[in-house]
């Protein structure tokens, strides 16, 4: 007699048809890498000096390897730009020895402000400012304004809410509490 549990003994009969095993996988978000199909996306922030003068850093890949990422001398990395590395993404479906790309999204951390000495030092090494297209007399006729920083997404949300409220208030101000009401004529 089989000492195993009765349900296990039943499953192991040689003449029975086996069923499918279904695995349900839940992908866990990674703090640094985002997967899109076979490709990986990684975000890296550069200082302004690194973006203008070159950089190098070590990227710890998902499989534990260390990749040296660097720019070429004289290459300027623009904010919100991407670079790709072939064969450093995820293994392809049914082709485990082929991999997707690793895309690196670069953001640039600009300083909040510069001192006058820093501005003067930069003016000696950066391309010159474009010459003013306006005469002093034309500039004297202009009104000077002050631009300020905003969060554009928050600004648009606030504007939509304000417009919705104004539309609601207009309906409330109409006689009878709304638009004109029309009745059907009886024949």
pLDDT at site 7 = 54
pLDDT in tens, the chain (187 residues): 455 555 555 556 677 777 888 888 887 888 999 999 999 999 999 999 999 999 999 999 999 999 999 998 889 999 999 999 999 999 999 998 999 999 999 999 999 999 999 999 999 988 888 888 888 888 888 878 777 778 889 988 998 998 888 877 776 666 655 555 556 666 5
CATH code, 88: 2.60.260.20
Q: Give the tokens for residue 144.
A: 């000077």
Residues of the domain holding 88 = 33-109
Residue 1 forms part of a structural domain: no
pLDDT at site 5 = 56
Tally of structural domains, the chain: 1
Residue 132 forms part of a structural domain: no
Look at residue 32 and give its three-state secondary structure: coil
Residue 41 forms part of a structural domain: yes
pLDDT at site 148 = 75
Residue 123 forms part of a structural domain: no
Answer yes or no: are the C-beta atoms of 83 and 103 closer than 8 Å. Answer: yes
Residue 96 forms part of a structural domain: yes
Residue 97 forms part of a structural domain: yes
pLDDT at site 185 = 62
DSSP strand pairing (66-70 vs 95-99): unpaired
Greatest extent of the chain over all pairs of C-alpha atoms, in Å = 109
pLDDT at site 142 = 86
Residue 170 forms part of a structural domain: no
């Amino acid at each position: 007699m089989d000492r195993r549990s009765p349900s296990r003994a039943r499953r192991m009969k040689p003449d029975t048809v086996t069923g499918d095993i279904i695995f349900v996988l839940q992908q866990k978000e990674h703090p640094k890498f985002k997967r899109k199909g076979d490709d990986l996306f990684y975000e890296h922030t550069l200082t302004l000096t690194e973006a203008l003068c070159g950089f190098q850093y070590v990227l710890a890949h998902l499989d534990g390897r260390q990749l040296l990422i660097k720019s070429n001398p004289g290459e300027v990395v623009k904010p919100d730009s991407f670079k790709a590395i072939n064969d450093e993404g995820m293994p392809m479906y049914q082709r485990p020895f082929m991999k997707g790309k690793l895309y690196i999204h670069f953001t640039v951390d600009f300083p909040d402000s510069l001192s006058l000495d820093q501005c003067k030092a930069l003016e000696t090494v950066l391309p010159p400012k474009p010459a003013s297209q306006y005469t002093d007399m034309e500039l004297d006729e202009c009104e000077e304004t002050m631009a300020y920083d905003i969060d554009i997404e928050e600004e648009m949300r606030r504007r939509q809410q304000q417009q919705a409220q104004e539309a609601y208030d207009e309906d409330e101000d109409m006689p009878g509490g709304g638009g004109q009401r029309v009745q059907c004529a009886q024949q």
